[in-house]
Amino acid sequence: MAEPPSGTLEPMNEFEQMYREVILDHYRNPRGHGAMDDPDAEAEGMNPLCGDEVTIFVSLAEDGETIDDVKFSGRGCAISQAATSMLTEMVKGRSATEVATLPKEELLEEIGIPLTPIRLKCALLGLGVLKVALHRAKGTPLPEEWAGLDDEFQVR
């Protein structure tokens, strides 16, 4: 059997195909999509490399620490929108401090497929904006690896 020509993509295994279908489902049917009236935390950001835009809204429980609800609005590529949709499901019920220190690898594991460096920025946009929103609203720590997010993702 001949080797595939140089530069062609390897066929996807069943595992990668399953994750691609999950990503497409989150893109087509995003969880947590929409705006929120009077959120406890809010930030918006943009990935200047590809034009993805995400605004994150957070509602905290009465204890002021537990994330009661997360919503997002925006537009962009399938990876940025699907990853943010997955993120909203991942963080509900967690503490703001826990989410502020959530390693990006946890979200990337949830996405489940290898990403190019540009697609990596797309996937992490929502997480970065969420961390900045919590940092601004609650003073949660902004881990060193996320320092400079305001500039990198053009967070407002």
Establish if 133 belongs to a structural domain.
yes
Give the distance, in angstroms, between the CA of residue 72 and the centroid of all CA atoms in the same chain: 10
Looking at the structure of the chain, the number of domains it has is 1
Establish if 54 belongs to a structural domain.
yes
What's the CA gap between 126 and 124, in Å, rounded?
6
Q: What is the pLDDT of residue 156?
A: 66
What are the tens digits of pLDDT across the range 28-76?
A: 999 999 999 999 999 999 988 889 999 999 999 999 999 999 999 999 9
Average pLDDT over residues 19-29: 83
Establish if 16 belongs to a structural domain.
no
Asked if residue 53 lies in contact with residue 96, where contact means CB atoms within 8 angstroms, the answer is: no
CATH number for position 52: 3.90.1010.10
Q: What is the pLDDT of residue 150?
A: 56
What are the tens digits of pLDDT across the range 83-100?
A: 999 999 999 999 999 999
Mean pLDDT (the chain, rounded): 86
- DSSP letter string over 96-150? HHHHHT--HHHHHHHH-S---HHHHHHHHHHHHHHHHHHHHHH-----GGGTTHH
Establish if 111 belongs to a structural domain.
yes
Q: Domain containing 61: what range?
A: 29-152
Q: Which residue has the higher pLDDT, 51 or 4?
A: 51
Asked if residue 140 lies in contact with residue 100, where contact means CB atoms within 8 angstroms, the answer is: yes
Q: What is the pLDDT of residue 148?
A: 63
Provide the β-strand partners of residue 69.
59
Helices (H) and strands (E) in the chain, counts: 6, 3
- pLDDT of 18 higher than 80: no
